[in-house]
C-alpha cells in the first residue's frame, strides 16, 4: 500500500509504483481526495476522479481508494490486510508508527523529477 496525490503523473511516480508492486502481490494506492488536499494546502491540477482514472490504468496498480485524512492509514492497513506500507524516502521516519501493523518501506525518490519541479518549470515558462 502507498499513498499520495499523484498529480501531473511522471516517470518518478511510475518508478515508485513499479517498485512498490514488486514488494507484494496486490498494490493499493490511497489517493488523496480533493478535500484532503485542501486540508494539506495542496492544489491539484487534476481532480480526484481524473487522477483515479489515470492510476487505475497503470498496470502496477491493483486498487485505488480515497485518502480523506492522515489518521485513516491504520484502519486501511487493517481493513485491507496490508503487509507492506511504502512511501518515498522524503517521508523517512514519518510513518514508523505503522510498524506495529505492517512492514514499512521507504523507497528512494527518482532523481531529477518531482511534481513540484514540473509546476515550478511550467510557472517559469509561463512567466518567461
Active site residue 92: no
User: What's the whole-model pTM score?
Assistant: 0.88
Q: What per-residue confidence (pLDDT) applies to 127? A: 66
CA 39/CA 73 separation, integer angstroms = 16
Catalytic residue among 40, 43, 92, 117: 40
Model confidence at 119, in pLDDT bands (50, 70, 90)?
A: low
Is 35 a residue whose pLDDT tops 90?
Answer: yes
Q: What per-residue confidence (pLDDT) applies to 120? A: 72
pLDDT digit string (tens) for 45-88? 899 999 999 999 999 999 999 999 999 999 999 999 999 999 99
The lowest-confidence range among 19-28, 46-55, 113-122 is 113-122
Provide the grid cell at 92: 523517512
User: b vs e for 111-120, b when ≥16 Cβ sit within 10 Å of the residue's Cβ?
Assistant: eeebbeebee
Active site residue 78: no
Is 121 a residue whose pLDDT tops 70?
Answer: no
Is 113 a residue whose pLDDT tops 80?
Answer: no
Amino acid at each position: 500500500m502507498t499513498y499520495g496525490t499523484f498529480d501531473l503523473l511522471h516517470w518518478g511516480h511510475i518508478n515508485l509504483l513499479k517498485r512498490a508492486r514488486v514488494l507484494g502481490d496486490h498494490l493499493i494506492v490511497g489517493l488523496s481526495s480533493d478535500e484532503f488536499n485542501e486540508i494539506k494546502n495542496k492544489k491539484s491540477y487534476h481532480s480526484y476522479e481524473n487522477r483515479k482514472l489515470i492510476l487505475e490504468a497503470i498496470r502496477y496498480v491493483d486498487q485505488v481508494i480515497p485518502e480523506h485524512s492522515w489518521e485513516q492509514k491504520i484502519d486501511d492497513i487493517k481493513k485491507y490486510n496490508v503487509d507492506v506500507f511504502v512511501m518515498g524516502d522524503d517521508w523517512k521516519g514519518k510513518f514508523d508508527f505503522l510498524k506495529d501493523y505492517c512492514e514499512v518501506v521507504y523507497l528512494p525518490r527518482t532523481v531529477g523529477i518531482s511534481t513540484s519541479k514540473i509546476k515550478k518549470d511550467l510557472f517559469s515558462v509561463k512567466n518567461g
